[in-house]
């Protein structure tokens, strides 16, 4: 992710992942961080990192974009 971010002109700030010891979901933590820091770009390896079902993937992507104004950048298929 760091190489991709650098190549595309982004600075990788934080990585969010689900954990077994956290009370908050990574998705919720991501949303709060985006709002707090006014981040406008989110890099994900693939939409599978949001959900397995395509409809839910789209819904989560739209929710992030609507709630925060951030744009989702998907790495999958973007390697050069």
* Residue 19 lies inside a defined structural domain of this protein: no
Q: Is residue 68 part of a domain?
A: yes
Residue-number span of the structural domain to which 53 is assigned? 2-9+25-74
The structural domain count of the chain equals 1
- HEC profile for 29-52? HHHHHHHHHCCCEEEECCHHHCCC
- pLDDT digits 0-9 by tens, 34-52: 999 999 999 999 999 889 9
Residue 60 falls within a domain, yes or no?
yes
pLDDT score, position 76: 83
Phi, psi dihedral angles at 64 (to 5 degrees): -60, -50
Residue 18 lies in a domain: no
Is the pTM for the entire model greater than 0.75? yes
């Amino acid at each position: 992710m760091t190489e991709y971010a650098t190549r595309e002109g982004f600075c990788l700030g934080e990585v969010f992942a689900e954990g077994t010891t956290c009370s908050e979901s990574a998705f919720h933590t991501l949303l709060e961080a985006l709002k707090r820091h006014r981040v406008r770009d989110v890099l994900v390896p693939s939409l599978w990192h949001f959900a397995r079902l395509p409809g839910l993937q789209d819904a989560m992507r739209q929710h992030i974009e609507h709630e925060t104004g951030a744009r989702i950048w998907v790495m999958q298929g973007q390697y050069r």
